[in-house]
Amino acid sequence: MTAVLPPTLVVGCGLIGTSVALGLRSHGIDVHLVDADPEHVRVAVARGAGVADPVSDPALVVVAVPPRATAEAVRAALRDWPDAVVTDVASIKGRILAAVKGDPGAERYVGGHPMAGSERSGPQAASGQLFEGRPWVLTPTNGSADASVRLVEEVAVMLGGVPITMDADAHDDAVALVSHVPQVVSSLTAARLLNAPTSHLALAGQGLRDVTRIAGSDPSLWQDILGGNATAVRDVLGAVRADLDVVLEALDAGRDLSAVLKSGREGAELLPGKHGGARPELVTVFVQVSDAPGELSRLFARVGGSGVNIEDLRIDHELGRPVGLVEIAVLAARAEHLVDVLTQDGWTAYR
């Protein structure tokens, strides 16, 4: 199948809509942009994401407005453009599908959710490469037209996404588990830090930073997402609360609570490893580096020269001293070699 026919209409020029538009433009597709906020359109146009001129007959409409407004925008697009395929990018799918189902033209709608984002928002933060290698969930139904499904899938692939077809409700259950509930839990943990003495926060380490990183996300967007997936989120959060009650009772009664901790460890081990494959046995090599331009360059030049591949890495934030600790995860069988190479080169490296 050849490329999407121009013109394409992108409705909503936030982070995701503008990123879609930039990606389509990089494939030479004629993109038209609309947004309730003219400033968003202006920025998106200035960034080369498309034109603000009206369009007479789009082949594709991509709805990229906030989740709470998505269903109505999809329905309007189906009405306004009777020949267009319509997709959206909202992170909830069941409610939108339910609202659209039964509408004239519903067979031209194929729900989508590119699982990419940024801690920043708006067209300024957009990038045509945002979707590279990310899952892009598609939620067609039995009633969807084959040509519509193929077109939306082609767009996902064109923008670098990995299309995954799922039932809309299964999608919502999945993101409740892997995205929405972790978001709530992160926020709940970070909220405890308010009003804590500075001397207590000074003891924070990487574990707390990791758990609370996503708590920095946009509250109003997340209100919208959580409200739109309330049933699925509630189910998972209710189970979290039941386990939390077990922990609280065990603490009160001085009973063992390691069953929950064991379940947590087993659950964490189920997460797919790098590139979605099975998780190989990795070992972390720690290397001290000074906080100056060029130090990491020198380190990775040496690591690269050793022939040992870096599977993952992290810079740890140290307290009160201008030195960084780099944690390099490598295949277990290669760790000793790497430590030897770096130590001989004068680095402080250890497993």
Question: Per CB under 8 A, which of residues 172..201 are in contact with its own copies?
Answer: 173-175, 177-179, 181-194, 196-197, 199-201
Residue 268 engages its own copies in binding (rule: CB under 8 A): yes
CB of 79 to its own copies, least distance (A): 27
How many CA atoms, within 13 angstroms, populate the side-chain half-sphere of residue 263? 9
How many CA atoms, within 13 angstroms, populate the side-chain half-sphere of residue 288? 9
Residue 333 engages its own copies in binding (rule: CB under 8 A): no
Which residue is it, tokens 């959710």? 113
- Alpha-carbon gap, residue 176 to 170, rounded angstroms: 10
- Alpha-carbon gap, residue 328 to 310, rounded angstroms: 6
CB of 230 to its own copies, least distance (A): 4
Residue 251 neighbours by CB under 8 Å, 6+ apart: 257
Cβ atoms of 96 and 90 within 8 Å: the answer is yes
Q: Residue 111 — φ and ψ, nearest 5°?
A: -65, 145
Residue 299 engages its own copies in binding (rule: CB under 8 A): yes
CB of 152 to its own copies, least distance (A): 18
Contact residue for its own copies among 220, 278, 281, 346 (CB under 8 A): 220
The span of 29-37, 48-56, 142-150, 289-297 binding its own copies (CB under 8 A) equals 289-297
Residue 263 engages its own copies in binding (rule: CB under 8 A): yes
The span of 6-14, 138-146, 148-156, 234-242 binding its own copies (CB under 8 A) equals 234-242
Q: Would you mind telling me the total number of residues written for the chain in this entry?
A: 351
Residue 346 engages its own copies in binding (rule: CB under 8 A): no
Contact residue for its own copies among 5, 99, 145, 310 (CB under 8 A): 310
Closer CB to its own copies, residue 5 or residue 306?
A: 306
Structure tokens at 226: 């959580």
Closer CB to its own copies, residue 54 or residue 275?
A: 275
Contact residue for its own copies among 26, 262, 344, 345 (CB under 8 A): 262
Under DSSP, is residue 285 helix (H, G, I), strand (E, B) or coil?
strand
DSSP 319-334: SSSSEEEEEEEEEHHH
Neighbours of 213 (CB within 10 A): 12
Residue 215 engages its own copies in binding (rule: CB under 8 A): yes
Residue 181 neighbours by CB under 8 Å, 6+ apart: 233, 236, 237, 240
Closer CB to its own copies, residue 154 or residue 243?
A: 243
Residue 286 engages its own copies in binding (rule: CB under 8 A): yes
CB of 162 to its own copies, least distance (A): 5
